[in-house]
Each structure stands twice: as structure tokens, then as C-alpha cells.
């Protein structure tokens, strides 16, 4: 039974098609993302992940079809207003190079509560703490930070306006493995704590399974599967998803009849699902 009603849907794609000239990138995408979900998007290169993501904040417009955010067609919402309620974090540093860490994070909150600078100051410190950065970095400029620290500041900035939706496009693609693991743990914690709706593009199936409450697998502009991670692992819907799952098992160096023993909740749920089969 489908229990997803309009009121608990944060983002909806209705029959979305996107072409660049003759090239079709998304074909009849229909998708509902309930409020509070953490949707990871994975697929082959060029499968349309970034294109679909950027339609939510109108950085890309569809050729046909509609995108709804909180039940409103984004075509009817002023893009600037829309983006104030949608955090956006991408790979690499997108910080303003001439601004300190504090000014970078407080940029949007300052626009929103112009008069209440004390409130913004407190919010900046709260987000520094949440993304695991010490306050003594507040006066530094982006060039004086490590890649991992810049990425954390980018996430703090995306979250600082307390958006309802967070769009993340391979946000941890450019950091080392250890930092990546830490950032994954932090974003999962932020999601649990805030209940924010997250769309997260990744090339890493382990990351998709670890973080996603639902995983969207795209190939050649079409949805291959949109399911909980345990479902993806236990019952891949297409040969393409099956290949992804095999890659995950091999990465974890386990026999194919066992699931990944990595330390993540998706795999733990998947193991339980398989055990119950």
C-alpha cells in the first residue's frame, strides 16, 4: 500500500523529461521523496543525477513535467526565495574566498535576520560545533583551511539558514578516506537530529547504502530502483542494480551469499532482511 500522501511529500518529480538538443538525459521521471528521507542517488556517469538534483532549486529547468517542493510547483516560486529554504553543498570548495569562515557561514542567515546579528552569531557557532569544527577557525579564510575543513564549512553554510531540504552533489568526493568517513557520520547525525530532507548524489555504492534511507539508482535517465538499502541489496530490481550490489560485496571482500559487514546501518538492516528471507 502506498502511504505517501501529498502532505508528507517534500519533493516530487512529475513526468520529468530533460533533453539537451537531441540528447535525452531524463525520461519520464516520476518520484516522490517523503519529508525527512535521506535519498542517495547513484548511477552511471551521465545518467542524469546532477540534472535531477538541480531541478529542485531551479538551477536547471526541465524540458517538460513539473517539480514540486512542499506541494508547490517550483516554476511558481521565485528562485531566490526557493533557494533560501534549500541548502546546497557540492564537491570542492564553494566558499567565498575573500570572506572569513564566520562571514561565509553567516551570509544567508544575515540576509534572513538582518537585525538580529547576535542570533546569527550563535547559529554560526552551533553549526561549527555540529560539523565538528573548532571556533578558532572562525577568523580564517578558506585558503587557510584543509580540504576537509573547507568541506565542513561548506556544509555548515548550506545548513546555517535551517533549510527544510538539503541538496548534496558528491560533497565528499574530494576528501581523503578518513575525513570522508567522519563527514558521512556527521551528515547522518545531522539528518537524524534535524529531520531535514536530504538528496545526496554519490558515485560510491557503499556511501549510498550507508547514508540513504532510500537509494535511487539511475541509469541512462531512467529509474532502475528506488528502495530502502536493504531492499536494494536483497532484491536488486535490474541487472544494472545487481552489478552495483556485486561491486559492493566485492569491495567488502565477502562471499556473494553474504552482505557487506561494513559498519553501517544500511548493511545491518540488509543483513537482517536477508536473514529473515
Ligand X SMILES: Nc1ncnc2c1ncn2[C@@H]1O[C@H](COP(=O)(O)OP(=O)(O)OP(=O)(O)O)[C@@H](O)[C@H]1O
Shortest distance, position 123 Cβ to ligand X, whole Å: 31
**DSSP-assigned letter for residue 76:** G
**In this complex, which beta carbon is closest to ligand X, that of residue 34 or of residue 46?**
46
Question: Whole-number minimum distance, CB 44 to ligand X, in Å?
Answer: 7
| Least distance between ligand X and beta carbon 83 (Å) | 19
- Phi and psi for 39 in degrees, rounded to 5? -95, 115
Helix 177-194 / helix 147-159 crossing angle, nearest 10 deg: 10
Q: Are 265 and 210 in contact (CB under 8 A)?
A: yes
Cβ-based nearer residue to ligand X, 18 or 83:
18
187-216 residues near ligand X, rule: CB under 6 A: none
Between 43 and 163, CB nearer to ligand X? 43
**Contact between residue 169 and residue 91 where contact means Cβ atoms under 8 Å apart:** yes
Size of the site for ligand X (CB under 6 A): 10
Say how far apart CA 207 and CA 179 lie, in whole Å: 13
Q: Smallest gap, in angstroms, from Cβ of residue 243 to ligand X?
A: 16
Name which of 10 and 201 has its Cβ closer to ligand X: 201
Q: Burial level of 182, CB count in 10 A (0-12/13-18/19+)?
A: middle
| Footprint on residues 1-60 left by ligand X (CB under 6 A) | 20, 25, 43, 45-51
- Cα 74 to its chain centre, rounded Å, is 19
Residue 214 CB-density burial (10 A; 0-12 exposed, 13-18 middle, 19+ buried):
buried
Residue 120 C-beta: closest distance to ligand X, Å? 34
Could you give the dihedral angle defined by the CA atoms of residues 237, 241, 245 and 250, in that order, rounded to the nearest 10 degrees?
140
Q: Is 269 in the site for ligand X (CB under 6 A)?
A: no
Minimum CB distance to ligand X smaller for 72 or for 203: 203
Residue closer to ligand X (CB basis): 48 or 148: 48
Beta-bridged to residue 138, according to DSSP, are none
Q: Which is nearer to ligand X, 46 or 132 (CB)?
A: 46
Taking the complex as a whole, the smallest distance from the CB of residue 60 to ligand X amounts, in Å, to: 8
**Smallest distance from ligand X to CB 203, Å:** 6
Task: Identify residues 101-160 at the interface with ligand X (CB under 6 A).
Answer: none
C-alpha cell at 270: 540488509
Residues forming the site for ligand X (CB under 6 A) = 20, 25, 43, 45-51
Amino acid at each position: 500500500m502506498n502511504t505517501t500522501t501529498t502532505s508528507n511529500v517534500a519533493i516530487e518529480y512529475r513526468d520529468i523529461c530533460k533533453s539537451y538538443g537531441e540528447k535525452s538525459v531524463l525520461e519520464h521521471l516520476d518520484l516522490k521523496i517523503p519529508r525527512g528521507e535521506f535519498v542517495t542517488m547513484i548511477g552511471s556517469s551521465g545518467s542524469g543525477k546532477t540534472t535531477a538534483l538541480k531541478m529542485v532549486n531551479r538551477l536547471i529547468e526541465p524540458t517538460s513535467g513539473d517539480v514540486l517542493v512542499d506541494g508547490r510547483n517550483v516554476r511558481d516560486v521565485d528562485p531566490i526565495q526557493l533557494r533560501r529554504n534549500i541548502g546546497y553543498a557540492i564537491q570542492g570548495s564553494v566558499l567565498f574566498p575573500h570572506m572569513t569562515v564566520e562571514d561565509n557561514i553567516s551570509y544567508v542567515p544575515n540576509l534572513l535576520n538582518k537585525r538580529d546579528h547576535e542570533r546569527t552569531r550563535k547559529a554560526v557557532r552551533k553549526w561549527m560545533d555540529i560539523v565538528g569544527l573548532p571556533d578558532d577557525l572562525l577568523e580564517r579564510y578558506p585558503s587557510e583551511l584543509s580540504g576537509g575543513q573547507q568541506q565542513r564549512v561548506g556544509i555548515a553554510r548550506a545548513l546555517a539558514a535551517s533549510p527544510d531540504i538539503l541538496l548534496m552533489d558528491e560533497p565528499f568526493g574530494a576528501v581523503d578516506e578518513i575525513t570522508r568517513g567522519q563527514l558521512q557520520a556527521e551528515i547522518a547525525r545531522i539528518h537524524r537530529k534535524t529531520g531535514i530532507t536530504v538528496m545526496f548524489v554519490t558515485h560510491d555504492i557503499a556511501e549510498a547504502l550507508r547514508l540513504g534511507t532510500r537509494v535511487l539508482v539511475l541509469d541512462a535517465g531512467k529509474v532502475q530502483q528506488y528502495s530502502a538499502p536493504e531492499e536494494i541489496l536483497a532484491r536488486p530490481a535490474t541487472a544494472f542494480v545487481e552489478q552495483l550490489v556485486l561491486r559492493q560485496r566485492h569491495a567488502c571482500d565477502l562471499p556473494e551469499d553474504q552482505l557487506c559487514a561494513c559498519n553501517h546501518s544500511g548493511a545491518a538492516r540488509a543483513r537482517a532482511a536477508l536473514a529473515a528471507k
